Chain A
Amino acid sequence: MMERPLDLLRDVLDHTIVDADGAPCGTVDDLLLEGGPGQLLKVTALLVGPGPLVRRLPRWLERAAAWIFGRRYARVSWSEVESISATVTLRSPAAKLGLGRWDRKVGRWLARIPGS
Protein backbone atom coordinates (compact mmCIF):
# COMPACT_ATOMS: atom_id res chain seq x y z
CA MET A 1 0.00 0.00 0.00
CA MET A 2 2.74 2.49 0.95
CA GLU A 3 5.76 3.21 -1.25
CA ARG A 4 8.05 4.41 1.52
CA PRO A 5 8.32 3.24 5.12
CA LEU A 6 5.49 4.42 7.32
CA ASP A 7 6.48 5.91 10.65
CA LEU A 8 3.71 4.55 12.86
CA LEU A 9 4.42 6.85 15.76
CA ARG A 10 4.72 10.01 13.75
CA ASP A 11 2.18 9.47 11.03
CA VAL A 12 -0.45 7.15 12.44
CA LEU A 13 -0.66 7.07 16.21
CA ASP A 14 -2.75 9.85 17.80
CA HIS A 15 -3.84 11.14 14.43
CA THR A 16 -7.47 12.04 13.79
CA ILE A 17 -9.46 9.42 11.88
CA VAL A 18 -11.66 10.66 9.09
CA ASP A 19 -14.30 8.43 7.58
CA ALA A 20 -15.38 8.07 3.96
CA ASP A 21 -17.68 11.10 4.29
CA GLY A 22 -14.86 13.31 5.49
CA ALA A 23 -16.09 13.63 9.07
CA PRO A 24 -13.83 13.08 12.08
CA CYS A 25 -14.74 9.94 13.98
CA GLY A 26 -12.09 9.45 16.59
CA THR A 27 -8.33 9.21 16.91
CA VAL A 28 -5.91 6.35 16.52
CA ASP A 29 -5.59 5.54 20.19
CA ASP A 30 -3.54 2.42 19.76
CA LEU A 31 -2.36 -0.05 17.16
CA LEU A 32 -2.84 -3.77 17.15
CA LEU A 33 0.31 -5.56 16.09
CA GLU A 34 0.46 -9.26 15.40
CA GLY A 35 3.46 -11.46 15.27
CA GLY A 36 6.02 -12.77 17.66
CA PRO A 37 9.74 -13.13 18.24
CA GLY A 38 11.39 -14.21 15.01
CA GLN A 39 8.23 -13.58 13.02
CA LEU A 40 7.11 -10.70 10.89
CA LEU A 41 5.38 -7.98 12.93
CA LYS A 42 2.24 -6.75 11.20
CA VAL A 43 -0.15 -3.95 11.96
CA THR A 44 -3.55 -5.57 11.84
CA ALA A 45 -5.90 -2.99 13.29
CA LEU A 46 -6.42 0.48 14.70
CA LEU A 47 -7.85 0.65 18.19
CA VAL A 48 -10.18 3.56 18.85
CA GLY A 49 -11.78 4.33 22.17
CA PRO A 50 -11.21 5.17 25.82
CA GLY A 51 -9.86 1.70 26.59
CA PRO A 52 -6.47 2.06 24.94
CA LEU A 53 -6.27 5.71 25.98
CA VAL A 54 -6.80 4.92 29.61
CA ARG A 55 -4.03 2.33 29.47
CA ARG A 56 -1.63 5.06 28.38
CA LEU A 57 -2.23 7.15 31.47
CA PRO A 58 0.03 6.97 34.51
CA ARG A 59 -0.86 4.09 36.84
CA TRP A 60 -2.44 6.21 39.58
CA LEU A 61 -4.80 7.90 37.12
CA GLU A 62 -5.65 4.79 35.18
CA ARG A 63 -8.14 3.17 37.52
CA ALA A 64 -10.18 6.33 38.13
CA ALA A 65 -10.21 7.16 34.44
CA ALA A 66 -11.25 3.61 33.55
CA TRP A 67 -14.09 3.78 36.04
CA ILE A 68 -15.32 7.04 34.53
CA PHE A 69 -14.75 6.42 30.84
CA GLY A 70 -14.80 2.65 30.54
CA ARG A 71 -12.43 0.36 28.70
CA ARG A 72 -14.32 -0.20 25.49
CA TYR A 73 -12.80 0.30 22.10
CA ALA A 74 -13.53 -0.26 18.45
CA ARG A 75 -11.24 -2.32 16.30
CA VAL A 76 -10.78 -1.01 12.80
CA SER A 77 -9.07 -3.46 10.53
CA TRP A 78 -6.01 -2.11 8.76
CA SER A 79 -7.58 -3.01 5.44
CA GLU A 80 -10.17 -0.32 6.05
CA VAL A 81 -7.53 2.39 5.84
CA GLU A 82 -7.81 4.23 2.54
CA SER A 83 -4.95 6.70 2.89
CA ILE A 84 -2.69 8.29 5.44
CA SER A 85 -1.89 11.97 5.27
CA ALA A 86 -2.38 14.50 8.04
CA THR A 87 -5.36 12.36 9.00
CA VAL A 88 -6.08 8.66 8.63
CA THR A 89 -8.82 8.30 6.04
CA LEU A 90 -11.03 5.22 5.99
CA ARG A 91 -12.87 3.48 3.17
CA SER A 92 -16.26 3.27 4.88
CA PRO A 93 -18.58 5.60 6.77
CA ALA A 94 -18.09 5.74 10.53
CA ALA A 95 -21.36 4.05 11.40
CA LYS A 96 -20.42 0.90 9.49
CA LEU A 97 -17.19 0.60 11.47
CA GLY A 98 -18.71 1.28 14.85
CA LEU A 99 -16.96 4.63 15.22
CA GLY A 100 -18.41 7.90 16.42
CA ARG A 101 -21.25 6.07 18.14
CA TRP A 102 -21.48 8.65 20.87
CA ASP A 103 -21.67 11.56 18.46
CA ARG A 104 -24.65 9.87 16.85
CA LYS A 105 -26.23 8.96 20.18
CA VAL A 106 -25.88 12.43 21.64
CA GLY A 107 -26.96 13.86 18.30
CA ARG A 108 -30.22 11.92 18.41
CA TRP A 109 -30.78 13.12 21.95
CA LEU A 110 -30.07 16.73 20.98
CA ALA A 111 -32.39 16.47 17.99
CA ARG A 112 -35.32 16.71 20.37
CA ILE A 113 -34.30 20.25 21.24
CA PRO A 114 -35.52 22.94 18.84
CA GLY A 115 -32.90 24.78 16.91
CA SER A 116 -30.47 21.90 16.67
Chain B
Amino acid sequence: MKVAATNQALALLLRIFVSMGAFVEVGALTFSIGAGARFGYSLVWVIVIGTVGIAVYCEISGRIAAVRNEPLFALIRQRDGFRSGLLTLVAVTSANALTCAAQIGAVAMLWQLLSGWPYRLLVLLALIFFILAVWFTPKEWIERVFGLLGLMMIVFVTVAVSLHPRWSQVAATALPNLPPFKTRRDGLLYGYYAIALLGSILLPYKTYFRASAAIEHKRKVSHIVPDRVTWIVGFGLGSLLPVSLLLIGADFFAPRQIEPQLPGGAALATASLFGIAGMLIAVGGMFFAFAGAAIEMALSGAYNVAQFLGWRWGKLGTPRSAARFAVSWIALLCAAALIVLTGLDPARIVECSVILSVVILPFTYFPLVVIGADRRIMGDRASGKLIKALGWLYFMLITLAALAVIPLFILTRVGKG
Protein backbone atom coordinates (compact mmCIF):
# COMPACT_ATOMS: atom_id res chain seq x y z
CA MET B 1 0.00 0.00 0.00
CA LYS B 2 2.81 2.35 1.00
CA VAL B 3 4.80 1.37 -2.06
CA ALA B 4 1.90 2.27 -4.29
CA ALA B 5 1.55 5.67 -2.65
CA THR B 6 5.29 6.34 -2.92
CA ASN B 7 5.18 5.28 -6.55
CA GLN B 8 2.31 7.63 -7.18
CA ALA B 9 4.12 10.48 -5.46
CA LEU B 10 7.26 9.78 -7.49
CA ALA B 11 5.24 9.62 -10.67
CA LEU B 12 3.71 12.98 -9.84
CA LEU B 13 7.12 14.46 -9.08
CA LEU B 14 8.42 13.09 -12.36
CA ARG B 15 5.55 14.66 -14.27
CA ILE B 16 6.18 17.98 -12.51
CA PHE B 17 9.85 17.94 -13.45
CA VAL B 18 9.06 17.00 -17.03
CA SER B 19 6.63 19.94 -17.20
CA MET B 20 9.39 22.19 -15.88
CA GLY B 21 12.06 21.04 -18.31
CA ALA B 22 9.75 21.35 -21.28
CA PHE B 23 8.62 24.87 -20.40
CA VAL B 24 11.12 26.87 -22.42
CA GLU B 25 11.81 26.56 -26.11
CA VAL B 26 13.90 28.77 -28.34
CA GLY B 27 11.24 31.46 -28.89
CA ALA B 28 10.66 31.99 -25.19
CA LEU B 29 14.42 31.94 -24.56
CA THR B 30 15.18 34.52 -27.24
CA PHE B 31 12.43 36.90 -26.23
CA SER B 32 13.09 36.56 -22.51
CA ILE B 33 16.74 37.50 -22.88
CA GLY B 34 15.85 40.18 -25.42
CA ALA B 35 13.20 41.64 -23.13
CA GLY B 36 15.69 41.86 -20.28
CA ALA B 37 18.45 43.27 -22.47
CA ARG B 38 16.13 45.93 -23.86
CA PHE B 39 13.87 46.85 -21.00
CA GLY B 40 15.51 45.61 -17.83
CA TYR B 41 13.23 43.95 -15.35
CA SER B 42 10.04 45.61 -16.50
CA LEU B 43 8.56 42.71 -18.50
CA VAL B 44 8.57 40.12 -15.71
CA TRP B 45 4.82 40.54 -15.31
CA VAL B 46 4.27 39.25 -18.85
CA ILE B 47 5.95 35.98 -17.89
CA VAL B 48 3.72 35.72 -14.82
CA ILE B 49 0.58 36.34 -16.87
CA GLY B 50 1.70 33.91 -19.55
CA THR B 51 2.39 31.17 -17.04
CA VAL B 52 -1.06 31.47 -15.49
CA GLY B 53 -2.56 31.48 -18.96
CA ILE B 54 -0.87 28.30 -20.16
CA ALA B 55 -1.77 26.61 -16.88
CA VAL B 56 -5.43 27.55 -17.37
CA TYR B 57 -5.53 26.26 -20.94
CA CYS B 58 -3.68 23.07 -20.11
CA GLU B 59 -6.14 22.45 -17.30
CA ILE B 60 -9.03 22.80 -19.70
CA SER B 61 -7.51 20.57 -22.37
CA GLY B 62 -6.47 17.93 -19.83
CA ARG B 63 -9.95 17.90 -18.32
CA ILE B 64 -11.61 17.57 -21.70
CA ALA B 65 -9.39 14.61 -22.48
CA ALA B 66 -10.02 12.95 -19.12
CA VAL B 67 -13.79 13.40 -19.23
CA ARG B 68 -14.46 12.60 -22.87
CA ASN B 69 -11.54 10.33 -23.72
CA GLU B 70 -11.95 11.79 -27.15
CA PRO B 71 -9.22 13.71 -28.93
CA LEU B 72 -9.56 17.48 -29.07
CA PHE B 73 -9.60 17.77 -32.81
CA ALA B 74 -12.23 15.07 -33.16
CA LEU B 75 -14.38 17.10 -30.76
CA ILE B 76 -13.67 20.30 -32.66
CA ARG B 77 -14.77 18.70 -35.90
CA GLN B 78 -17.91 17.21 -34.37
CA ARG B 79 -18.89 20.47 -32.80
CA ASP B 80 -17.91 23.04 -35.39
CA GLY B 81 -18.09 21.06 -38.60
CA PHE B 82 -15.53 20.24 -41.21
CA ARG B 83 -14.84 23.68 -42.62
CA SER B 84 -14.29 25.61 -39.37
CA GLY B 85 -12.39 22.68 -37.92
CA LEU B 86 -10.18 22.62 -41.01
CA LEU B 87 -9.41 26.30 -40.55
CA THR B 88 -8.30 25.69 -36.97
CA LEU B 89 -6.33 22.63 -38.07
CA VAL B 90 -4.47 24.50 -40.80
CA ALA B 91 -3.70 27.36 -38.43
CA VAL B 92 -2.39 25.12 -35.66
CA THR B 93 -0.40 22.90 -38.01
CA SER B 94 1.32 25.79 -39.77
CA ALA B 95 2.28 27.28 -36.44
CA ASN B 96 3.53 23.87 -35.31
CA ALA B 97 5.64 23.48 -38.44
CA LEU B 98 7.19 26.93 -38.12
CA THR B 99 7.94 26.69 -34.42
CA CYS B 100 9.35 23.21 -35.02
CA ALA B 101 11.59 24.73 -37.69
CA ALA B 102 12.79 27.29 -35.16
CA GLN B 103 13.75 24.51 -32.74
CA ILE B 104 15.57 22.50 -35.40
CA GLY B 105 17.50 25.59 -36.50
CA ALA B 106 18.41 26.33 -32.91
CA VAL B 107 19.57 22.76 -32.30
CA ALA B 108 21.74 22.93 -35.41
CA MET B 109 23.20 26.20 -34.16
CA LEU B 110 23.99 24.71 -30.77
CA TRP B 111 25.72 21.76 -32.44
CA GLN B 112 27.65 24.22 -34.57
CA LEU B 113 28.84 26.04 -31.46
CA LEU B 114 30.24 22.79 -30.14
CA SER B 115 31.60 21.25 -33.30
CA GLY B 116 32.18 24.05 -35.77
CA TRP B 117 30.70 21.90 -38.55
CA PRO B 118 28.74 23.60 -41.35
CA TYR B 119 25.27 24.70 -40.35
CA ARG B 120 23.25 23.11 -43.16
CA LEU B 121 24.87 19.73 -42.63
CA LEU B 122 23.96 19.96 -38.96
CA VAL B 123 20.35 20.73 -39.85
CA LEU B 124 20.19 17.49 -41.85
CA LEU B 125 21.85 15.57 -39.04
CA ALA B 126 19.39 17.06 -36.57
CA LEU B 127 16.48 15.96 -38.76
CA ILE B 128 17.83 12.41 -38.95
CA PHE B 129 18.42 12.42 -35.22
CA PHE B 130 14.84 13.49 -34.48
CA ILE B 131 13.31 10.96 -36.82
CA LEU B 132 15.36 8.13 -35.38
CA ALA B 133 14.79 9.23 -31.80
CA VAL B 134 11.02 9.34 -32.15
CA TRP B 135 10.87 6.19 -34.27
CA PHE B 136 12.83 3.95 -31.94
CA THR B 137 12.20 5.42 -28.52
CA PRO B 138 9.11 4.48 -26.53
CA LYS B 139 6.95 7.48 -25.79
CA GLU B 140 7.45 7.67 -22.04
CA TRP B 141 11.20 7.66 -22.48
CA ILE B 142 11.14 10.52 -24.96
CA GLU B 143 9.26 12.69 -22.51
CA ARG B 144 11.44 11.65 -19.61
CA VAL B 145 14.83 11.96 -21.30
CA PHE B 146 14.27 15.29 -22.99
CA GLY B 147 12.18 16.77 -20.22
CA LEU B 148 14.47 15.83 -17.38
CA LEU B 149 17.75 16.58 -19.16
CA GLY B 150 16.23 19.87 -20.21
CA LEU B 151 16.37 20.68 -16.51
CA MET B 152 20.04 21.46 -17.09
CA MET B 153 18.61 24.82 -18.00
CA ILE B 154 18.52 25.43 -14.25
CA VAL B 155 22.07 26.65 -14.74
CA PHE B 156 20.46 29.85 -16.02
CA VAL B 157 18.71 30.28 -12.70
CA THR B 158 22.11 29.98 -11.04
CA VAL B 159 23.61 32.53 -13.39
CA ALA B 160 20.75 34.96 -12.82
CA VAL B 161 21.09 34.72 -9.06
CA SER B 162 24.88 35.07 -9.24
CA LEU B 163 24.43 38.37 -11.00
CA HIS B 164 22.88 39.75 -7.80
CA PRO B 165 19.69 41.19 -9.21
CA ARG B 166 17.85 43.85 -7.25
CA TRP B 167 15.19 41.52 -5.89
CA SER B 168 12.83 44.20 -4.64
CA GLN B 169 12.72 45.68 -8.12
CA VAL B 170 12.15 42.26 -9.65
CA ALA B 171 9.23 41.67 -7.30
CA ALA B 172 7.79 45.06 -8.23
CA THR B 173 7.87 44.23 -11.93
CA ALA B 174 5.96 41.00 -11.36
CA LEU B 175 2.90 43.20 -11.43
CA PRO B 176 1.86 44.92 -14.66
CA ASN B 177 3.75 48.15 -15.03
CA LEU B 178 4.82 50.51 -17.76
CA PRO B 179 8.29 52.03 -17.61
CA PRO B 180 8.84 55.57 -18.94
CA PHE B 181 9.75 55.55 -22.62
CA LYS B 182 12.29 57.83 -24.25
CA THR B 183 10.76 57.69 -27.70
CA ARG B 184 7.49 56.51 -29.17
CA ARG B 185 9.36 53.76 -30.94
CA ASP B 186 10.57 52.48 -27.60
CA GLY B 187 6.98 52.26 -26.49
CA LEU B 188 5.99 50.30 -29.59
CA LEU B 189 8.96 47.98 -29.14
CA TYR B 190 7.93 47.37 -25.52
CA GLY B 191 4.48 46.37 -26.69
CA TYR B 192 5.98 44.09 -29.32
CA TYR B 193 8.25 42.35 -26.84
CA ALA B 194 5.43 41.97 -24.34
CA ILE B 195 3.18 40.32 -26.94
CA ALA B 196 5.92 38.11 -28.34
CA LEU B 197 6.99 36.99 -24.88
CA LEU B 198 3.40 36.22 -23.95
CA GLY B 199 2.85 34.31 -27.19
CA SER B 200 5.99 32.25 -26.78
CA ILE B 201 4.80 31.02 -23.40
CA LEU B 202 1.25 30.35 -24.64
CA LEU B 203 2.30 28.22 -27.63
CA PRO B 204 -0.66 25.98 -28.49
CA TYR B 205 1.29 22.78 -29.01
CA LYS B 206 1.63 22.47 -25.23
CA THR B 207 -2.11 22.14 -24.66
CA TYR B 208 -2.91 19.98 -27.67
CA PHE B 209 0.00 17.63 -27.11
CA ARG B 210 -0.90 17.11 -23.47
CA ALA B 211 -4.52 16.34 -24.30
CA SER B 212 -3.50 13.61 -26.75
CA ALA B 213 -0.88 12.28 -24.34
CA ALA B 214 -3.50 12.19 -21.59
CA ILE B 215 -5.78 10.03 -23.74
CA GLU B 216 -2.94 7.69 -24.68
CA HIS B 217 -2.06 7.30 -21.04
CA LYS B 218 -5.70 6.82 -20.21
CA ARG B 219 -6.02 9.69 -17.78
CA LYS B 220 -9.37 9.40 -16.05
CA VAL B 221 -11.64 11.83 -14.27
CA SER B 222 -9.97 10.80 -11.01
CA HIS B 223 -6.75 12.18 -12.42
CA ILE B 224 -8.09 15.67 -12.95
CA VAL B 225 -7.01 16.99 -9.57
CA PRO B 226 -3.47 15.52 -9.50
CA ASP B 227 -3.02 16.74 -13.06
CA ARG B 228 -4.02 20.20 -11.96
CA VAL B 229 -1.31 20.05 -9.31
CA THR B 230 1.14 19.01 -12.02
CA TRP B 231 0.34 21.99 -14.20
CA ILE B 232 0.38 24.52 -11.39
CA VAL B 233 3.57 23.36 -9.72
CA GLY B 234 5.36 22.33 -12.89
CA PHE B 235 4.61 25.49 -14.77
CA GLY B 236 5.18 27.67 -11.74
CA LEU B 237 8.65 26.23 -11.32
CA GLY B 238 9.17 26.21 -15.07
CA SER B 239 8.43 29.92 -15.26
CA LEU B 240 11.58 30.51 -13.20
CA LEU B 241 13.50 29.77 -16.38
CA PRO B 242 12.21 32.61 -18.57
CA VAL B 243 12.38 34.93 -15.57
CA SER B 244 16.03 33.97 -15.02
CA LEU B 245 16.77 34.50 -18.70
CA LEU B 246 15.17 37.93 -18.48
CA LEU B 247 17.31 38.76 -15.45
CA ILE B 248 20.39 37.62 -17.35
CA GLY B 249 19.37 39.91 -20.19
CA ALA B 250 18.94 42.79 -17.79
CA ASP B 251 21.99 42.27 -15.57
CA PHE B 252 24.56 40.82 -17.97
CA PHE B 253 23.71 41.95 -21.46
CA ALA B 254 22.06 45.32 -20.93
CA PRO B 255 25.03 46.93 -19.14
CA ARG B 256 27.21 45.82 -22.04
CA GLN B 257 24.60 47.03 -24.54
CA ILE B 258 24.28 43.65 -26.18
CA GLU B 259 21.00 42.27 -27.51
CA PRO B 260 21.62 38.59 -28.17
CA GLN B 261 19.41 37.12 -30.86
CA LEU B 262 20.80 33.62 -31.00
CA PRO B 263 21.01 30.95 -28.28
CA GLY B 264 24.80 31.20 -28.30
CA GLY B 265 24.44 34.48 -26.48
CA ALA B 266 22.77 32.79 -23.54
CA ALA B 267 25.62 30.30 -23.38
CA LEU B 268 28.09 33.18 -23.57
CA ALA B 269 26.68 34.66 -20.38
CA THR B 270 27.01 31.30 -18.64
CA ALA B 271 30.56 30.87 -19.93
CA SER B 272 31.49 34.28 -18.65
CA LEU B 273 30.49 33.36 -15.13
CA PHE B 274 31.09 29.63 -14.87
CA GLY B 275 33.64 28.89 -17.55
CA ILE B 276 33.53 26.06 -20.03
CA ALA B 277 31.64 23.76 -17.66
CA GLY B 278 28.85 26.28 -17.33
CA MET B 279 28.77 26.81 -21.05
CA LEU B 280 28.47 23.09 -21.74
CA ILE B 281 25.65 22.67 -19.23
CA ALA B 282 23.84 25.62 -20.76
CA VAL B 283 24.26 24.28 -24.28
CA GLY B 284 23.23 20.80 -23.16
CA GLY B 285 20.16 22.07 -21.34
CA MET B 286 19.13 24.17 -24.32
CA PHE B 287 19.62 21.23 -26.67
CA PHE B 288 17.36 18.92 -24.70
CA ALA B 289 14.74 21.60 -24.11
CA PHE B 290 14.63 22.62 -27.80
CA ALA B 291 14.82 19.04 -29.04
CA GLY B 292 12.02 17.99 -26.71
CA ALA B 293 9.94 20.88 -27.94
CA ALA B 294 10.60 20.02 -31.59
CA ILE B 295 9.50 16.44 -31.00
CA GLU B 296 6.37 17.48 -29.13
CA MET B 297 5.47 19.95 -31.88
CA ALA B 298 5.85 17.35 -34.61
CA LEU B 299 3.88 14.75 -32.66
CA SER B 300 1.24 17.32 -31.76
CA GLY B 301 0.82 18.20 -35.42
CA ALA B 302 0.49 14.53 -36.32
CA TYR B 303 -2.01 13.91 -33.51
CA ASN B 304 -4.14 16.81 -34.68
CA VAL B 305 -4.28 15.77 -38.32
CA ALA B 306 -4.88 12.09 -37.58
CA GLN B 307 -7.59 12.79 -35.04
CA PHE B 308 -9.33 15.26 -37.32
CA LEU B 309 -9.44 12.82 -40.21
CA GLY B 310 -10.24 9.69 -38.24
CA TRP B 311 -6.93 7.92 -38.84
CA ARG B 312 -5.41 5.52 -36.38
CA TRP B 313 -3.14 7.50 -34.10
CA GLY B 314 -0.87 7.02 -31.14
CA LYS B 315 2.76 6.77 -30.21
CA LEU B 316 2.35 3.95 -27.68
CA GLY B 317 2.07 1.27 -30.35
CA THR B 318 4.42 0.53 -33.21
CA PRO B 319 4.62 2.98 -36.11
CA ARG B 320 3.11 0.31 -38.31
CA SER B 321 -0.05 0.19 -36.23
CA ALA B 322 -0.74 3.88 -36.88
CA ALA B 323 0.87 4.22 -40.26
CA ARG B 324 -0.49 7.53 -41.52
CA PHE B 325 0.13 9.08 -38.10
CA ALA B 326 3.78 8.01 -38.28
CA VAL B 327 4.14 9.43 -41.77
CA SER B 328 2.59 12.68 -40.52
CA TRP B 329 5.10 13.41 -37.81
CA ILE B 330 7.95 12.46 -40.10
CA ALA B 331 6.55 14.74 -42.78
CA LEU B 332 6.22 17.58 -40.28
CA LEU B 333 9.83 17.20 -39.15
CA CYS B 334 10.97 17.16 -42.78
CA ALA B 335 8.92 20.24 -43.61
CA ALA B 336 10.36 22.03 -40.60
CA ALA B 337 13.90 21.08 -41.61
CA LEU B 338 13.22 22.27 -45.16
CA ILE B 339 12.14 25.65 -43.87
CA VAL B 340 15.48 25.96 -42.07
CA LEU B 341 17.44 24.68 -45.06
CA THR B 342 16.13 27.52 -47.23
CA GLY B 343 18.85 29.49 -45.52
CA LEU B 344 16.59 31.95 -43.75
CA ASP B 345 18.31 33.62 -40.84
CA PRO B 346 17.55 31.39 -37.83
CA ALA B 347 16.86 34.41 -35.66
CA ARG B 348 14.22 35.52 -38.19
CA ILE B 349 12.67 32.05 -38.20
CA VAL B 350 12.39 32.15 -34.43
CA GLU B 351 10.82 35.57 -34.53
CA CYS B 352 8.37 34.74 -37.31
CA SER B 353 7.36 31.51 -35.64
CA VAL B 354 6.39 33.36 -32.49
CA ILE B 355 4.55 36.04 -34.44
CA LEU B 356 2.58 33.51 -36.46
CA SER B 357 1.71 31.66 -33.28
CA VAL B 358 0.42 34.86 -31.71
CA VAL B 359 -1.78 35.58 -34.73
CA ILE B 360 -3.41 32.16 -34.62
CA LEU B 361 -3.68 31.99 -30.83
CA PRO B 362 -7.33 33.09 -30.79
CA PHE B 363 -8.22 30.40 -33.33
CA THR B 364 -6.52 27.70 -31.35
CA TYR B 365 -7.84 28.58 -27.92
CA PHE B 366 -11.40 29.49 -28.88
CA PRO B 367 -12.47 25.83 -29.30
CA LEU B 368 -10.79 24.95 -26.01
CA VAL B 369 -12.66 27.52 -23.98
CA VAL B 370 -15.97 26.80 -25.67
CA ILE B 371 -15.80 23.02 -25.49
CA GLY B 372 -14.51 23.07 -21.93
CA ALA B 373 -17.55 25.02 -20.81
CA ASP B 374 -20.09 23.14 -22.93
CA ARG B 375 -22.36 21.21 -20.58
CA ARG B 376 -23.67 19.00 -23.38
CA ILE B 377 -20.15 17.72 -23.96
CA MET B 378 -18.63 17.90 -20.49
CA GLY B 379 -21.61 17.17 -18.29
CA ASP B 380 -21.14 18.40 -14.78
CA ARG B 381 -17.38 18.53 -15.32
CA ALA B 382 -17.79 21.60 -17.47
CA SER B 383 -15.60 24.56 -16.57
CA GLY B 384 -16.50 26.21 -13.30
CA LYS B 385 -17.02 29.94 -12.98
CA LEU B 386 -13.37 30.69 -12.24
CA ILE B 387 -11.89 28.74 -15.14
CA LYS B 388 -14.57 30.01 -17.50
CA ALA B 389 -13.85 33.60 -16.50
CA LEU B 390 -10.10 33.12 -16.77
CA GLY B 391 -10.48 31.30 -20.08
CA TRP B 392 -12.47 34.13 -21.62
CA LEU B 393 -10.29 36.82 -20.06
CA TYR B 394 -7.20 35.27 -21.59
CA PHE B 395 -9.03 34.82 -24.87
CA MET B 396 -9.72 38.55 -25.01
CA LEU B 397 -6.09 39.20 -24.13
CA ILE B 398 -4.74 36.98 -26.88
CA THR B 399 -7.18 38.40 -29.41
CA LEU B 400 -5.89 41.89 -28.68
CA ALA B 401 -2.35 40.55 -28.93
CA ALA B 402 -3.13 38.86 -32.25
CA LEU B 403 -4.53 42.11 -33.65
CA ALA B 404 -1.61 44.21 -32.50
CA VAL B 405 1.34 41.96 -33.25
CA ILE B 406 1.63 42.41 -37.01
CA PRO B 407 1.32 46.20 -37.02
CA LEU B 408 3.84 46.34 -34.19
CA PHE B 409 6.16 43.97 -36.03
CA ILE B 410 6.04 46.12 -39.17
CA LEU B 411 6.59 49.34 -37.31
CA THR B 412 9.43 48.08 -35.16
CA ARG B 413 10.96 46.13 -38.03
CA VAL B 414 13.54 48.78 -38.61
CA GLY B 415 14.58 48.12 -35.05
CA LYS B 416 15.68 44.60 -35.87
CA GLY B 417 18.73 45.53 -37.89
Q: Using a CB–CB distance below 8 Å, which chain A residues touch chain B?
A: 10, 14-17, 23-27, 29, 48, 53, 56-58, 86-87, 100, 102-107, 109-111, 113, 115-116
7 intermolecular pairs with C-beta atoms under 8 Å apart = A14-B82, A15-B78, A27-B74, A56-B83, A102-B324, A105-B323, A116-B319
Q: Which residue of A lies closest to B310 (CB)?
A: A27
A103 close to B323 (CB less than 8 A): yes
A58 CB contacts on chain B under 8 angstroms: 83
State the main secondary structure of chain A at its contact with B: mixed
Would you call B140 an interface residue if the criterion is a C-beta within 8 Å of the partner chain's C-beta atoms?
no
Would you call B135 an interface residue if the criterion is a C-beta within 8 Å of the partner chain's C-beta atoms?
yes
B312 close to A14 (CB less than 8 A): no
Looking at the assembled complex, report how far the CB atom of B138 sits from the nearest CB atom of chain A, in whole angstroms. Answer: 11
B86 CB contacts on chain A under 8 angstroms: 57
A25 close to B312 (CB less than 8 A): yes
Q: Which residue of B lies closest to A53 (CB)?
A: B82
Fill in one digit per residue for B64-84: 1 if any A CB lies within 8 Å of its CB, else 0. Answer: 000011100010011001110
B313 CB contacts on chain A under 8 angstroms: 24
B85 CB contacts on chain A under 8 angstroms: 14
B326 close to A16 (CB less than 8 A): no
A107 CB contacts on chain B under 8 angstroms: 320-321, 323
Interface size on B, residues (CB 8 A): 29
B83 CB contacts on chain A under 8 angstroms: 56-58
Looking at the assembled complex, report how far the CB atom of B83 sits from the nearest CB atom of chain A, in whole angstroms. Answer: 6
Q: Which residue of A lies closest to B82 (CB)?
A: A56
Give Cα distance in the complex from A102 to B83, angstroms.
23
B82 close to A110 (CB less than 8 A): no
Would you call B10 an interface residue if the criterion is a C-beta within 8 Å of the partner chain's C-beta atoms?
no
A57 CB contacts on chain B under 8 angstroms: 83, 86
A110 close to B312 (CB less than 8 A): no
Which of B85, B310, B322, B327 has the most C-beta atoms of chain A within 10 angstroms of its own C-beta? B310
Would you call B311 an interface residue if the criterion is a C-beta within 8 Å of the partner chain's C-beta atoms?
yes
Q: Which residue of A lies closest to B322 (CB)?
A: A103
B320 close to A26 (CB less than 8 A): no
A110 close to B310 (CB less than 8 A): no
Residues of B302-336 at the interface with A, using a CB-CB cut-off of 8 Å, are 307-313, 318-324, 326-327
Give Cα distance in the complex from A115 to B330, angstroms.
15
A14 CB contacts on chain B under 8 angstroms: 77-78, 81-82, 85
Q: Which residue of B lies closest to A10 (CB)?
A: B78
B135 close to A103 (CB less than 8 A): no
